Amino acid sequence: MSPQTKSLLEKFATFANWNTVGLPSDMERFREFVISAFKNGEYSLSLDEFLGVVNSCVKNTEADYDMKISDKKRILSSKMFMFNQYEDGIKLLRKYEGK
């Protein structure tokens, strides 16, 4: 992952509200990441690479022993949803590339 793309993903992950995915300010930061990945030819980041960056920025919420399992699952589900949004965004941009 290029430094620019990684930096934008870190910015998104750091400020995202993982309990409520889809807030406008979060989605704007996420779209900046997707566009950067597209421009840098990073069409197939792996889930491990994506989660590695995201998890390094999220404040140990999953390690919090007081957090309910259902909350941990919701946060993980949010991360998986956002990875799918990355894949969908890249597919869409590639479809209209050069048109």
Q: What is the pLDDT of residues 45-91, one digit of tens each?
A: 999 999 999 999 886 555 566 678 788 888 889 999 999 999 999 99
Question: Is the CB of residue 75 less than 8 Å from the CB of residue 21?
Answer: no
Q: Average pLDDT of the chain?
A: 89
What pLDDT was estimated at residue 18? 83
What pLDDT was estimated at residue 83? 96
Residue 20 falls inside a structural domain: yes
Instruction: Tell me the pTM.
Output: 0.86
Considering its fold, how many domains does the chain have in total? 1
Rounded Cα distance, 9 and 31, in Å:
10
Rounded Cα distance, 47 and 89, in Å:
15
Task: Show the domain range for 22.
Answer: 3-93
Q: SS3 of 60, please? A: coil
Residue 99 falls inside a structural domain: no
Rounded Cα distance, 53 and 48, in Å:
9
